[in-house]
Amino acid sequence: MAAFTQVGCQPSSPSQRITVASAGSISSLDPAQVSTVHSLQLLTAIGDPLYSLNDDGSLLPRLAASKPTISADGRLVTIPLRTDVRFHDGTRFDAEAMAFSLRRFLRIGTLSYVVGDRIKAVEVAAPHTLRLTLNRRSTSLEGLLTSINLTPLSPRAYAKHKDSFLHDNFVGTGPYRLTKFNEKQQRLEPFEQYWGEPPRNNGLDLISLSNSTALFGALRSGEVDVLLSASIDEDQRHALNQQAQRGDLNETVGPAMEIGYVTLLSNTAPLSDQRLRQAIALSLNRDEASERVSYGLRRPLRALIPPSLPGGGVASWPRHNPTQAKTLLRQSGYCQGTQLEVPLTFRSNVPADKLLALTWQAQVQRDLADCMVLKLDGVESTTVYRQLGEGAFKAVILDWLGSYPDPEAYLNPLLSCSDAEGHVCRDGEAAISGSFWSAPGLQKALQQSDSLRGTPRMEVLNAIEKLTVDGAAYIPVWLESPRSWSQRSLNPPEYDRSGFLRLAQLQRVSQKQGDD
Amino acid sequence: MGRARDLFRYSATRLGLAPLMLWLIATLVFLLLRVAPGDPVDAVLGSRAPAAAKAAMRARLGLDQSLFDQYLSYLNGLVHGDLGQALINQEPVSKIIGNTLPASLELSVIALIAAAIVGLSIGFSGIARPEGSIDFSGRLYGLGTYALPPFWVAMLIQLVFAVSLGWFPVGGRFPPSLLPPEGSGFFLWDSLVSGNWPAFAGSIRHLVLPAATLALLLSGTFTTALRLNLRRTLRGDYVEAARSRGLSERQVILHHALPNALLPVLTIAGITVASLIGGALLIEVTFSWPGIALRLQEAINQRDYPVVQGIVVVIAALVVLVSVAVDLLVAALDPRVRY
């Protein structure tokens, strides 16, 4: 028995397959439905986008043969496609297949709101030329074309799923074929007829473990080769970071695309008072919170647009300033024996949210004890999202990851409003996101920003952020970068500009040396 | 003959009550889910999905009907063995249960066997010298393991034997680099039958820690139950009578006291295995064991009504069946039981 156990417990000889672990199950592989980072990461291995982003943010053709041609009025976008691409079922990729996939996405995609009202028609201009007719000029369309949600699907394999989801299979064009799928484990094999650079490993096993300790332990014990950071507790993230700094592990950090923020309910008292919202924003010490909660691994953020995107990284929101906060609170009638009581809701199943709430509460207690108090309330995230648009939370800690790398994907979901009166949004994204805040001219500026390029666009984006700072219905807190840790026996993994790990480039060091 | 008739009547009554119990449970789950906050359509489509898409899905899932109509439709499906489809990915609930129940049963049965062997051995070992050091240790073990918080024990065992020592996998049910054996879903059995030894070894390695943790937590119940029942039976008149007939103490214990002391333990084992099927959640979560309890937790978080309803009803049915079976077994074995 001992011998059996010992044999079983030996680290297996370096396999050319690579095991990648992350948290959470994958319930669907249909690009028209998937939205979790974990599922999208898998899609990047088995599918291809039309374009990806270069380091300078420009478009790099993938399934497209070259950059899109845009008509003078910006409403006609022509995309030449590669001619040497095959689907995993052996059929050829062409404009018909791309049009089939895009139309399917627009028809049934749960994320079709991402495309919004931009695309009027999808047409096949030539066997390998796709033409999009837009309702309006859209600068952000280029970012949208990098989305893996728009990856092409084999029309033959999806013939019975033109109008319905196919959850447990995927037939696309990516560097890997899916050979086994269940919610907890997926097996990928290199696709021999892949048009691009072939994968540097002999296949991937993607596994889901149900808790942070198991993920942490699996990497520490050498059971998995690569660990993706989503859902790893802050302490364990810090411990892995320390290990990486000691040289025991590889650590790779991707572009910071996820923002953590607080939404304040602006259409009901007391937070309908703009000064109070501004005071709350001034009461948060981001640097301290980042250090206490994440050991500095989450970077403090004072903007809604991530720094890696055009118009991002401009620190518009004011720094922590309790003196100014006190002044504003006094002006609104607090501090003279009256405390402003702010119920702060956090998602109880997100450990970082709870730690942030506790840290902020302590900061307010320390700096503004006679003026303001935060009352914490943990609510499970499904309930939070359900009740957010009903105006159930005065202040709530949330996060957001844009569906594609463009400022539009961050500003619109928080600020867009289809029915506004003064500073109150009655209907639209700002209502869904729980702030119910708008400002005169804001919606027009949002639309304008999507029709401009270069410096004029930057100016409009800055103006939008300035309006949002004054409104103080949102308080950006921090920025989260995707991280992954891998064994030293692997070459350090790399991220693409959209924040996904390049799984096909994972390679064992010995294998690499052997190849050389 | 009269006893057999009584036993038949008793069995029929117990089995006849089972559907009533299941109906009550199914109704309760249906109502509780509808009261819980959180919209399943939001969970599937996201809160930002267009209103038209939400309405279409609501209609497709029958969520636009009145609560009573939904309830009738649900009961109708249940009666016809149709547990519905998962909201999230339209997978048949019966398939989800078919994929996850074997994992939970495999873990529960192995843990129960291990718990019974360890717990009964410890409970029995102190009987030679009541209140002696072995008996005292057994009592301490019984109380201690009963009182241990399951999540704490599970994490400790995981950290020591998987993370620090690296003897066993941290979680999961099967090595990711191997293909799971096809068949019944009971990996140990399937790999054994097909002679797939790497799969068998891999399955055992993954099973050891969760099963050992569960066994440790359960064994105390067996220890305490056997110890108390054995002491009680050893004070019985029939044991005194056996001793007075000149039987050795070994014969008295093994042939007279132990069989009687084990009958209540059988009841405990039945209740335990029934509750284990759905109750090993903390163990399944800690060790990422893809069982039915873990799936139930995920379905609750996703507000996936049909999956939650289906799993709860199936677990309830199993609990009812096992407890009825144990009752009948005890009634058949113990002539003192009256119906």
* Lookup: tokens for A131: 């033409």
* Interchain proximity B170–A110, CB inside 8 Å: no
Residue B318 pLDDT exceeds 70: yes
What does the DSSP 8-state code read for residue B196? -
What does the DSSP 8-state code read for residue B255? I
Distance from CA of B94 to the nearest CA of A (A): 15
Q: Which of B209, B103, B215, B216 is nearest to B162 (CA)?
A: B209
CA pair distance A183, A26, nearest whole angstrom: 5
- Is any Cβ of chain B less than 8 angstroms from the Cβ of A222? yes
* Lookup: tokens for A35: 């939205």
Strands, sheet with A372-379, edge to edge from the N-terminal-most edge strand:
A299-300, A474-480, A258-264, A395-401, A340-347, A372-379
Query: Residue A90, Cβ neighbours under 10 Å: how many?
Result: 10
Percent of chain B, pLDDT > 90? 15
Mean pLDDT in each 10-residue stretch from start to end of chain A (516 residues)?
A: 41 69 89 88 95 86 95 93 96 96 86 75 95 90 90 96 90 96 92 94 91 87 86 86 92 91 94 94 95 92 89 84 94 90 93 94 94 94 86 94 88 90 89 92 90 88 91 94 92 89 90 48
* Best to test chain A binding among B100, B170, B281, B302 (most A CBs inside 10 Å): B170
Average pLDDT over every residue of B226-243: 82
Residue B339 pLDDT exceeds 80: no
Q: Which residues of B touch A412 (CB under 8 A)?
A: none
User: Closest-CA residue in chain B for A17?
Assistant: B177
Confidence of residue B125 (pLDDT cuts 50, 70, 90): confident
Q: Which of B268, B151, B274 is nearest to B217 (CA)?
A: B151
Average pLDDT over every residue of B218-246: 83
pLDDT for B38:
64
Q: How big is the A-B interface in CB pairs under 8 Å?
A: 127
Residue B158 pLDDT exceeds 60: yes
* Interchain proximity A168–B91, CB inside 8 Å: yes
Q: Which residues of A touch B284 (CB under 8 A)?
A: 210
Alpha helices in A246-402 (DSSP H): 274-282, 286-294, 322-331, 351-367, 381-388
pLDDT for B3:
67
Let me know: does A12 contact A222? Beta carbons within 8 Å: no
**Cis peptide, bond prior to residue A270, ω within 30 of zero:** yes
Q: Which residues of B touch A180 (CB under 8 A)?
A: 179
pLDDT for A14:
47
Q: At what angle do helices A408-415 and A454-471 cross, to 10 degrees?
A: 30
* Mean pLDDT score of chain B: 83
Average pLDDT over every residue of B303-324: 85
pLDDT for A5:
42
Q: Cα-flanking dihedrals φ and ψ of residue A377, to 5°?
A: -150, 115
Confidence of residue B204 (pLDDT cuts 50, 70, 90): very high
Query: Residue B241, Cβ neighbours under 10 Å: how many?
Result: 12
How far does Cα B180 stand from its chain's mean position? 23
pTM of the model as a whole: 0.84
Residue B64 pLDDT exceeds 80: yes
Q: Which residues of B touch A223 (CB under 8 A)?
A: 162, 169-170
Residue B271 pLDDT exceeds 90: no
Per-residue pLDDT of B170-187, as tens digits, reads 888 888 878 888 888 899
* Interchain proximity B37–A386, CB inside 8 Å: yes
> Residues of A numbered 135-194 whose beta carbons fall under 8 angstroms of chain B's beta carbons: which are they?
165, 167-168, 180, 182-185, 187
* Interchain proximity A386–B302, CB inside 8 Å: no
Alpha helices in chain B (DSSP H): 2-35, 40-45, 51-60, 67-79, 93-125, 133-147, 150-157, 187-193, 197-234, 237-244, 249-251, 258-279, 281-286, 292-301, 305-333
CA distance between the termini of chain A: 42
Q: Which of A345, A307, A363 is nearest to A479 (CA)?
A: A307
Query: Residue A6, Cβ neighbours under 10 Å: how many?
Result: 10
**3-class DSSP state of A500:** coil
pLDDT for A1:
40
* Interchain proximity B201–A213, CB inside 8 Å: no
- Is any Cβ of chain B less than 8 angstroms from the Cβ of A205? yes
Per-residue pLDDT of B96-108, as tens digits, reads 999 999 999 999 8
Q: Which residues of B touch A387 (CB under 8 A)?
A: 37
Average pLDDT over every residue of B271-280: 71
